Amino acid sequence: MNNRYRIVAADLNDPEHCAGLVHCLDDYAAGPMGRGEGLSLEVQRAIVPGLRQHPERLIRLALHERAVVGAAVCFVGFSTFSAKPRLNVHDLCVLEPHRGLGVGRALLQAVLDAARAAGCSGVTLEVRSDNERAQRLYRSLGFSGGSEPMLFWERKLT
């Protein structure tokens, strides 16, 4: 990734971070790898307050100058098989003009670093079976696994 971008922890009290996060999630939902329609206004208004109330969230944003151009929204769970926390990437999205520049890779690497620092046993995510581009990224970062129609991938950290 070039140095025009930086990855930061989301500040859900920063109006620019909040608006950018909602914009990225809405754009992702409306696109071909989302559900093909944007988020309702009700959902857009509820995302940030809901995330603020969720105690086990980890959100990283990709910034181009001050503009949010990508986001990783994750939640901490617990693995009963390892008796350690486990992080799930719920959303990973990058706005179209910034794709192919390493932004998604940098976001996911920041998530992996944070999970490792928190003592998580692994990081999980889901990927559409027809999203080859995302699958290549995940494989390159050590994720594996999967079953149709959604592939559930994992990268062990311990």
List the CATH number of the domain containing 70.
3.40.630.30
| For residues 132-145, average pLDDT | 91
Number of separate domains in the chain:
1
Beta strand ranges found along the chain (DSSP E): 5-9, 57-64, 67-79, 84-94, 122-128, 150-156
Q: Does an H or E element contain 140, and which?
A: helix 132-140
Tokens at residue 74, please? Answer: 């994750």
Task: Report pLDDT for 150.
Answer: 59
Give the model's pLDDT for residue 146: 64
67, 10 Cβ separation under 8 angstroms: no
pLDDT at 41: 97
Percent of the chain with pLDDT over 70: 94
Query: Are residues 33 and 91 in contact, defined by beta-carbon separation less than 8 angstroms?
Result: no
Paired residues of 118 in beta bridges: none
Distance CA 18, CA 59 (A): 11
User: Is the pLDDT score of 6 beyond 70?
Assistant: yes
- Domain with 59, as residue range(s), is 5-156
Residue 24 burial class via C-beta count within 10 angstroms: exposed 0-12, middle 13-18, buried 19 and up: buried
Across residues 58-84, what is the average pLDDT? 96
